[in-house]
């Protein structure tokens, strides 16, 4: 579904991602772990299409499963040629590490616009208001988000945990095929973590893939990954199964970094 | 009347002959005191002439340029307008006054049942013919030189009187239409008097219809807000770019009164708006809000002047601008606090978004405070669209345009929120989203 080849990106004068390779197939959950400043958020921003970052080398291919089940190879898209909204409409979703507060724009109004623009892109008619409200209600329950929050301005005055839940709520509403979660666990207490993880687990399906970025192992107790990758200084220096996360938790990142250098 | 207009002459010189013609014809049946008043106003205008850009208050706004064409102030054509008036008004049940180029239009509906003593009509007939004594008391010649020009030349406008203890639930809607093929100087004037413990809400909408020439609208409004009264005055400027509008509102507030005004400029405009508020009694409240959305060569200049003359009054100002193209905006807000006006609370804020590099905004707060126990503050911000928010919205599938419009709509929303008339809010929200879609 996602194929990243030798991706180099950064800001002028500072290369942050230094040759990333990653293959993600439909149905899989990949965890990317790494110390602060290793480039995790940069990677997710580049995947979502943030224009501040320059891609200097490499390719990103996205092959969402075709809606009629015609096989995924048919719809290979060059993500780097697409605007953020085109990526979103094709099914890429980034849950932000720091969700943006947007005073005056109601969550509901914004989501409705988003859904309908995505539907327009897919040549579907706008969603009926009553269907939309039903969908909202259902997905709110999924992440135990209070109804009043959905009606407020986007993230304005939300607690850290509420912001993260709002991200997963939006993800659930938009039903993307590639979900990228950037440190969704940070700032969550243990109950909120469980709720968010449950929400994510309910969305797992054979047609959907997850890239879960996290600094700590604890989220991976709840969302069990198929693969774990370690990102350090803009490179994936080690990949393995879910046990790798436990090893990292026990030994810290220095262990790999040292090993990598030898 | 058809004399060749010498555009090189000064504006007073050019208007002198026209003023004589107006006195002899249009104003001939007016009472003597009014003609004297007009003459005095005209003389005073001639002495001062038009403000130039050397005048600090007109530094960024070139009035001379507006008056440089072959305009005439002697006109009174009948205009046939085939308009769907329903759509142009906000409320079905409001009292409706329609003016065309400064003259009352026959389709005005004044028939709504009004409480006893309430007068809603026009100055030229209802005012002068029936309530001449009243007008004599309230018509004034003050204000800046353009207000005095209006005091000399005004043709008509709304006349609203709310007696003591009457809360007029029905809003009054005034529609002003600029139309025609001739370059005119329309002089339009309202008088609004709210008695003790009364309330009234006025919505004025300015539009242009079938307009084929530049038009200058010089517009003056006097508002008297009695003790404990509440007045809302909403001004919508939806004219096309052929119209240059100069407006001034002078408000005198007595104790415990509350005045709310919103100036919403969405047209392709050249506008200069003056708001002068005098808080002449204790415990008054005044809320001045403005929104303008400009593009192309639009020019919108909002000048406010609040005089805190008495203690314990509050004034609050919020002006917001969204500027695109090569448009220019000005916010100049003066707060003056007299020595006696202790415990004054005066706030002022001007916030602007520039959507293009060529657009420009000038903001100038002026605080002049002679009392020591006051809370006054002002702030102004000018910026671009929030990039982080744009990316966030787009990453959820919104097009650049939709994301931009949502953000701008939210930005404008703060001003619309201040409006206390729900149907007007809805009406404006629709207009604003249309305007943002361009
Ligand atoms: N827009 C930016 N401008 C300047 N430096 C940046 C920018 N984005 C990221 N960086 C730098 O790149 C490095 C990686 O950042 P980031 O991707 O946020 O790391 P992580 O998410 O792994 O903590 C850091 O050193 C950070 O300071
Ligand atoms: Mg990060």
Say yes or no to pLDDT of B276 above 80.
yes
DSSP character string of B376-414: EEEEEEEE---HHHHHHHHTTT--HHHHHHHHHHHHHHH
pLDDT in tens, A202-253: 999 999 999 999 988 888 989 999 999 999 999 999 999 988 888 888 887 7
Q: What is the mean pLDDT of chain A?
A: 90
Give the pairing type, strands A102-106 and A153-154: antiparallel
Q: What pLDDT does A253 receive?
A: 78
Q: What pLDDT does A1 receive?
A: 92
List, as ranges, residues with CB under 5 A of the ion ligand 2. A 40-41, 97
Q: Exposed/middle/buried for A14, CB within 10 Å: 0-12, 13-18, 19+?
A: exposed
- In Å, how far from its chain's centre is CA A74? 23
Q: What pLDDT does A262 receive?
A: 41
CATH number of domain containing A96 = 3.40.50.300
Give the residue among B71, B99, B43 at the shortest CA–CA distance from B219: B99
How does DSSP classify residue B109? B
User: Is A88 inside any structural domain?
Assistant: yes
Report in angstroms the alpha-carbon separations of B239 from A206, B354, B415: 58, 22, 20
Answer for the pair A93, A208: CB distance below 8 angstroms, yes or no.
no
Beta strand ranges found along B266-359 (DSSP E):
270-279, 285-294, 299-308, 314-323, 328-337, 344-354
| Interface confidence (ipTM) of the complex | 0.95
- Report the predicted TM-score, pTM, of the whole model to 2 decimal places: 0.90
CA–centroid distance, residue B202 to ligand 1 (Å): 55
Which domain range does residue A84 map to?
A: 2-102+177-261
pLDDT in tens, B331-372: 999 999 999 999 999 999 999 999 999 999 999 999 999 999
DSSP character string of B60-75: T--HHHHTTS--BS--
Buried b (16+ CB within 10 A) or exposed e, A126-160: ebeeeebeebbeebbebbebeeebbebbbbeebee
- Percent pLDDT > 70 in chain A is 94
pLDDT in tens, B399-412: 999 999 999 999 99
Q: What domain count does chain A have?
A: 1
Across the range B45-58, mean pLDDT stands at: 92
Say yes or no to pLDDT of B217 above 90.
yes
pLDDT in tens, B67-86: 999 999 988 777 778 888 88
CA–centroid distance, residue A187 to ligand 1 (Å): 19
User: Is A238 inside any structural domain?
Assistant: yes
CA–centroid distance, residue A160 to ligand 2 (Å): 15
Distance from CA of A260 to the nearest CA of B (A): 35
Q: What pLDDT does A72 receive?
A: 47
A258 CB neighbour count, 10 Å cutoff: 9
Across the range B106-115, mean pLDDT stands at: 74
Give the pairing type, strands B199-211 and B172-180: parallel
| Contact residues, chain A to chain B, C-beta under 8 Å | 48-51, 83-85, 87-89, 93-94, 96, 99-100, 102-105, 109-111, 113-115, 117-118, 121, 153-154, 170, 174
pLDDT in tens, A69-114: 555 445 789 999 999 999 999 999 999 999 999 999 999 999 999 9
Ligand 1 neighbourhood includes A52 CB (under 6 angstroms): yes
User: Is A136 inside any structural domain?
Assistant: no
User: Is A143 inside any structural domain?
Assistant: no
pLDDT in tens, B409-430: 999 999 999 999 999 999 999 9
Beta strand ranges found along B105-229 (DSSP E):
119-122, 158-162, 172-180, 184-194, 199-211, 215-225
Q: Lowest-pLDDT range, A136-150, A246-260, B94-108?
A: A246-260
- The closest-lying atom of ligand 1 relative to the alpha carbon of residue A231 is 22
Distance CA B232, CA B261 (A): 6
Tokens of B335: 């707060």
User: Is A19 inside any structural domain?
Assistant: yes
Ligand 1 neighbourhood includes A50 CB (under 6 angstroms): no
Q: What pLDDT does B110 receive?
A: 64
User: Is A171 inside any structural domain?
Assistant: no
């Amino acid at each position: 579904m996602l194929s990243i080849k030798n991706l180099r990106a950064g800001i002028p004068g500072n290369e942050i991602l230094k040759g990333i390779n990653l293959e993600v197939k439909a149905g899989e959950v990949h965890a990317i772990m790494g110390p602060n400043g290793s480039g995790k958020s940069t990677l997710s921003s580049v995947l979502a299409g943030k224009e501040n970052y320059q891609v200097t080398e490499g390719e990103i291919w996205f092959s969402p499963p075709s809606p009629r089940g015609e096989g995924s190879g048919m719809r290979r898209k060059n993500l780097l040629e697409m605007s953020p909204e085109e990526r979103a409409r094709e099914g890429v979703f980034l849950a932000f590490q720091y969700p943006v507060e947007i005073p005056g724009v109601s969550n509901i109004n914004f989501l409705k616009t988003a859904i309908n623009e995505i539907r327009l892109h897919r040549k579907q008619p706008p969603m009926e208001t009553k269907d939309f409200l039903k969908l909202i209600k259902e997905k709110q329950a999924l992440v135990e988000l209070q109804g009043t929050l959905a009606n407020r301005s986007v993230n304005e005055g939300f607690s850290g945990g509420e912001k993260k839940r709002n991200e997963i709520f939006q993800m659930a509403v938009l039903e993307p095929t590639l979900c990228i979660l950037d440190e969704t666990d940070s700032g969550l207490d243990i109950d909120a973590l469980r709720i968010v993880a449950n929400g994510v687990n309910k969305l797992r399906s054979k047609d959907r893939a997850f890239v879960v970025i996290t600094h700590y192992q604890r989220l991976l107790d709840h969302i069990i990954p198929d693969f774990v990758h370690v990102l350090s200084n803009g490179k994936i220096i080690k990949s393995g199964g879910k046990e790798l996360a436990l090893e990292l938790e026990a030994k810290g990142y220095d262990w790999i970094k040292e090993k990598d250098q030898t | 009347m058809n004399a060749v207009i010498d555009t090189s002459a000064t504006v007073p010189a050019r208007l002198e002959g026209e003023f004589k013609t107006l006195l002899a014809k249009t104003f001939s049946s007016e009472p003597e005191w009014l003609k004297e008043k007009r003459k005095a106003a005209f003389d005073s205008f001639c002495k001062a002439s038009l403000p130039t850009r050397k005048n600090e208050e007109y530094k960024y706004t070139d009035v001379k340029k507006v008056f440089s064409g072959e305009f005439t102030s002697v006109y009174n054509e009948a205009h046939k307008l085939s308009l769907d008036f329903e759509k142009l008004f906000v409320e079905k049940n409001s009292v409706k006054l329609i003016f065309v180029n400064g003259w009352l239009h026959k389709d005005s509906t004044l028939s709504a049942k009004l409480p006893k003593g309430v007068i809603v009509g026009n100055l030229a007939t209802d005012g002068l013919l029936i309530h001449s004594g009243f007008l004599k008391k309230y018509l004034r010649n003050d204000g800046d030189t353009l207000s005095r020009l209006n005091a000399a030349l005004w043709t008509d406008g709304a006349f609203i009187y709310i007696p003591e203890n009457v809360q007029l639930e029905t809003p009054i809607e005034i529609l002003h239409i600029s139309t025609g093929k001739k370059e005119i100087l329309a002089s339009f004037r309202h008088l609004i008097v709210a008695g003790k413990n009364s309330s009234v809400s006025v919505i004025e909408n300015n539009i242009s219809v079938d307009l084929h020439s530049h038009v200058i609208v010089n517009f003056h409004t006097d508002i008297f807000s009695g003790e404990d009264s509440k007045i809302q005055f909403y001004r919508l400027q939806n004219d096309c770019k052929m119209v240059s509008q100069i407006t001034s509102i002078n408000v005198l507030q007595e104790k415990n009164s509350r005045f709310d005004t919103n100036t919403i400029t969405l047209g392709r405009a050249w506008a200069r708006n003056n708001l002068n508020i005098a808080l002449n009694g204790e415990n008054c409240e005044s809320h001045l809000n403005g929104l303008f959305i400009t593009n192309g060569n639009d020019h919108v200049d909002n000048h406010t002047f609040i005089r805190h003359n008495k203690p314990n009054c509050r004034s609050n100002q919020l002006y917001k601008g969204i500027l695109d193209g090569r448009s220019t905006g000005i916010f100049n807000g003066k707060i003056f606090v007299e020595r006696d006006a202790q415990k004054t609370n005066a706030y002022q804020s001007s916030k602007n978004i520039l959507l293009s590099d060529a657009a420009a905004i000038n903001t100038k707060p002026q605080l002049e405070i002679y009392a020591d126990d006051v809370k006054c503050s002002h702030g102004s911000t000018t910026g671009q669209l929030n990039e982080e928010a744009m990316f966030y919205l787009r990453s959820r599938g919104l097009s650049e345009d939709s994301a931009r419009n949502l953000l701008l709509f939210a930005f404008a929303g703060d001003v619309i929120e201040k409006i206390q008339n729900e149907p007007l809010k809805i009406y404006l929200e629709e207009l604003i989203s249309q305007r943002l879609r361009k």
